[in-house]
Homo-oligomer: A and B are copies of this chain.
């Protein structure tokens, strides 16, 4: 009550002033967690396993991080650091948002297990903040801030929603320890049952089409993204107009 009771993980100093020098570091621990999660999934990144990865005892991690949840918050921000938004806003909002969306998707595909960490309250980590500044900066010159938030919700909703679907199948497979062919073997009877019942014509159509989809996932994503950006463009006050009746930045 009266003592420290730290508050936000980003406000808790990594190392106090006094005492012996710490052997490890938050960055090292976070990196180990990412490495394990990449290789074996996030649920394999237990405190004991992470500690072992860096050659520490399990309880030593708690000298650096107050709980596993806080460690995951660190990991999440570390992942956001992989998203390259250097030079944004560039003045070309469409190019900026395209790059951002592409970077986010690439990061998710590199670390599919973030699909399993439910987006939490804003963590206020440095990388998250950098993203906010750079990416929302792209539209900041064109719309007021609440409009900007609304449009970004559409964009990030689309990006995260679609890539989550791409990624969580793979995650689910790995988690269940099934190979893709094993999963198909298990699901096929059910699919066949549904198709043969004749009650699900659209589902059947999807199954039939699945064999010969002519667009790769990359192309599908880019195609949908273009549409979403068109949608955002339509909501922007036309830059070609002589004057905007709703000046965004007074």
* A3 CB within 8 Å of chain B: no
The A12-55 residues at the B interface (CB cut-off 8 A) are: none
Check A223–B150 contact: CB distance below 8 A: yes
A8 in the interface, Cβ–Cβ < 8 Å? yes
A239 close to B (CB within 8 Å): no
A190 to B183, CA, bound (A): 46
Pick out which of these stretches binds chain B: A78-86, A90-98, A115-123: A115-123
Which residues of B have CB within 8 Å of A209? Answer: 145-146
Tell whether A118 pairs with B168 under 8 Å between CB atoms, given A11-B190, A158-B158: yes
| Chain B CB within 8 A of A61 CB | no
Q: A69–B172 Cα gap in the complex (Å)?
A: 11
User: Which B residues are CB-close (under 8 A) to A191?
Assistant: 124
Q: Does A231 contact B (CB under 8 A)?
A: yes
Chain B nearest Cβ from A203, distance in angstroms: 5
Most B CB within 10 A of own CB, among A146, A172, A193? A146
Q: How far is the CA of A234 from the CA of B224 in the complex (A)?
A: 12
Is A106 on the interface with B (CB-CB < 8 A)? no
Residues of A within 8 A of B (CB): 7-8, 10-11, 69, 115-116, 118-122, 124, 129, 132-133, 136-137, 140, 145-146, 149-150, 153-154, 156-162, 164-165, 168-169, 171-173, 176, 183, 185-187, 189-191, 193-194, 200-203, 205-206, 209, 213-215, 220, 223-224, 227-228, 230-231, 234-235
**Pairs A-B, 7 closest by C-beta atoms:** A157-B161, A231-B231, A7-B186, A8-B190, A157-B158, A120-B172, A161-B161
